[in-house]
Amino acid sequence: MPARTLYEKIWDAHVVREEPGKPSLIYIDRHLVHEGTSPQAFSGLKSAGRKVRRPELTFAVMDHSVSTKNRALPLLDPDAVAQFDALARNCQECGINLFDMQSRNQGIVHVIGPELGITLPGTTIVCGDSHTSTHGALGALAFGIGTSEVEHVLATQCLTQFKSKTMQIDVQGRRPAGVTAKDIILAIIGKIGIGGGNGHVAEYTGEAVRSLSMEGRMTMCNMSIEGGARAGMVAPDETTFAYVEGKPFAPRGKEFQQAVEYWRSLATDSGAKYDTVVTLRAADLAPMVTWGTNPGMVTQVTSRVPDPSSFSDPVDRKAAESALVYMGLQPGTPIENISVDRVFIGSCTNSRLEDLRTAARVVSGKHVAKSLKQALVVPGSRVVKAAAEQEGLDKVFRDAGFEWRDAGCSMCIAMNDDVLPSGERSASTSNRNFEGRQGKGGRTHLVSPAMAAAAAIEGHFVDIRKWRGAEGVE
């Protein structure tokens, strides 16, 4: 057999049927569902008189519109209530596992999948959500789909797919202190552009990636889609196996050992060819801050807001001009001089225990700046929340002037009542700084948890590598 990449091995293992000139039919091992993109799929299924083929492989959760304040209070938004009710009803009728608002395992779909062992190496995973790419951190093939495809998976447990091109993103050498997984992925997107990965599945390789924890790898894979790649992957290794072992839905005992043996065989063969190769040197990387209205409009914290006239392509120049108008920024402004109104630590990019630990270390014994209107910590899941409370992180955050919330998507997408008001500026650990993403007219700067935490204390961006509170930030 010719040398194959990780992607190709998982693909080959899931082909149900192929015919030359047509997309392949591939089998889906895990289907994740949330309230936002599923109601039309269930109603389509029903009106066609079709059934869910493998309900036990489908897992549903309420995350996008849930309140992060108090689960006991009645929901005020009737549209959100209708959507939650629809999900509960659909899951009940079809026999699908549902983690509802009250479940102790509730959380953001991309946080709970890995955490519960639903996400496993070598599996195919889809969800009606573009950040499904997150799960690739475990060495799974995971990607976002539209609602019509959600319906297709419900009905057939398969998808018709064209094979993607492969892209290796090799981050060479050791990661400098203060440069996190978030900074690496932002630097990658800055380099390849937000459409740079279109048509590709990305595999992250290199020492700087290998040395990341599972949480860090998830942060990187999460934002693959922001570089245009539908999926991002990291080959499973000892770090992966140690993470998976003992997770509630993961195989146990002898089964686990057999699984590990299989998972080991998935790593890209030496000599396998990628369609595109991108390399970065970790030593060149620095903490990153976005200045514009997409994740590719990003620069190092020590740098300045760029001048649109420096862009050679007229289309890019125009985009930069309108981004600066929206963001209310002047060209040439040092990034460290940008002050923020609100800080949001959360989202499927950066809301896991490691992220919260890092942020807590930064803010411990300090207090958020007087000028700050709000500082929010929203754990990615209730499991994360409980673990953080066990360590006393909630107290650290509260003492520093942060609000400590319940799990959900929250201000990443502002479908609940956590909204960035128009004209205000946030430092956010989420993944999208699109216009209006956190609230109409809101201005989002994407950063790592350490950088967001430090910005909360100072009221403006600081270089975490030199900052007084940065001890212990890796």
79 makes contact, choosing from ligand SF4, other proteins, none, with CB < 5 to 8 Å by partner type, with other proteins
* 259-279 residues labelled b (16+ CB within 10 A) or e (exposed): bbeebbebbbeeebebebebe
Q: How far is the CB of 261 from other proteins (least distance, A)?
A: 8
135 binding ligand SF4? (CB under 6 A): no
Cα 148 from Cα 361, distance rounded (Å): 44
Among 412, 420, 453, 456, binds ligand SF4 (CB under 6 A): 412
Please identify, among the stretches 81-89, 249-257, 296-304, 409-417, the one whose residues bind ligand SF4 according to the rule CB under 6 A. 409-417
Cα 76 from Cα 78, distance rounded (Å): 6
Q: Which is nearer to other proteins, 132 or 351 (CB)?
A: 132
- From the number of C-beta atoms within 10 Å of its C-beta (0-12, 13-18, 19+), residue 53 rates as middle
Q: Which is nearer to ligand SF4, 407 or 464 (CB)?
A: 407
155 makes contact, choosing from other proteins, ligand SF4, none, with CB < 5 to 8 Å by partner type, with other proteins
348 binding ligand SF4? (CB under 6 A): yes
Residue 410, Ramachandran bin (φ over 0: left; ψ between -120 and 50: alpha; else beta): left
Which distant-in-sequence residues (6+ apart) come within 8 Å of 345 by Cβ?
351, 355, 356, 359, 375, 376, 377, 378, 402, 429, 449, 452, 453
Q: Which is nearer to other proteins, 276 or 364 (CB)?
A: 276
Q: Binding mask 43-72 vs ligand SF4 (x if CB under 6 A, - otherwise)?
A: --------------------xx--------
**SS3 sequence of 399-425:** HCCCEECCCCCHHHCCCCCCCCCCCCE
Count of residues in contact with ligand SF4, rule CB under 6 A: 13
Q: How far is the CB of 347 from ligand SF4 (least distance, A)?
A: 4
DSSP 94-128: HT-EEE-TT-TT-B-HHHHHHHTT-S-TT-EEEES
Q: Which is nearer to ligand SF4, 282 or 420 (CB)?
A: 420
Among 96, 324, 413, 453, binds ligand SF4 (CB under 6 A): 413
Taking CA 232 as the corner, what is the angle to CA 267 and CA 117, rounded to the nearest 5 degrees? 75
108 makes contact, choosing from other proteins, ligand SF4, none, with CB < 5 to 8 Å by partner type, with ligand SF4
**Hey, what are 382's tokens?**
């209730």
149 makes contact, choosing from other proteins, ligand SF4, none, with CB < 5 to 8 Å by partner type, with other proteins
CB atoms within 10 A of CB 313: 9
**Hey, what are 224's tokens?**
């693959």
Please identify, among the stretches 50-58, 72-80, 241-249, 407-415, the one whose residues bind ligand SF4 according to the rule CB under 6 A. 407-415
189 binding ligand SF4? (CB under 6 A): no
343 makes contact, choosing from ligand SF4, other proteins, none, with CB < 5 to 8 Å by partner type, with none
108 binding ligand SF4? (CB under 6 A): yes
348 makes contact, choosing from ligand SF4, other proteins, none, with CB < 5 to 8 Å by partner type, with ligand SF4
Please identify, among the stretches 208-216, 293-301, 405-413, 420-428, the one whose residues bind ligand SF4 according to the rule CB under 6 A. 405-413
**Hey, what are 159's tokens?**
């998808």
Q: How far is the CB of 222 from ligand SF4 (least distance, A)?
A: 8
Q: Which is nearer to other proteins, 227 or 469 (CB)?
A: 227
40 makes contact, choosing from other proteins, ligand SF4, none, with CB < 5 to 8 Å by partner type, with other proteins
194 makes contact, choosing from ligand SF4, other proteins, none, with CB < 5 to 8 Å by partner type, with other proteins
96: nearest Cα among 85, 104, 86, 88: 88
Write out the H or E segment, with its range, that includes residue 215. Answer: helix 214-222
Cα 105 from Cα 439, distance rounded (Å): 28
Q: How far is the CB of 238 from ligand SF4 (least distance, A)?
A: 28
Q: Are 448 and 427 in contact (CB under 8 A)?
A: no
Q: Which is nearer to ligand SF4, 63 or 341 (CB)?
A: 63
431 binding ligand SF4? (CB under 6 A): yes
Residue 421, CA atoms < 13 Å, CB-side half-sphere:
6
Residues near ligand SF4 (CB under 6 A) are 63-64, 108, 110, 129, 131, 347-348, 409, 412-413, 430-431
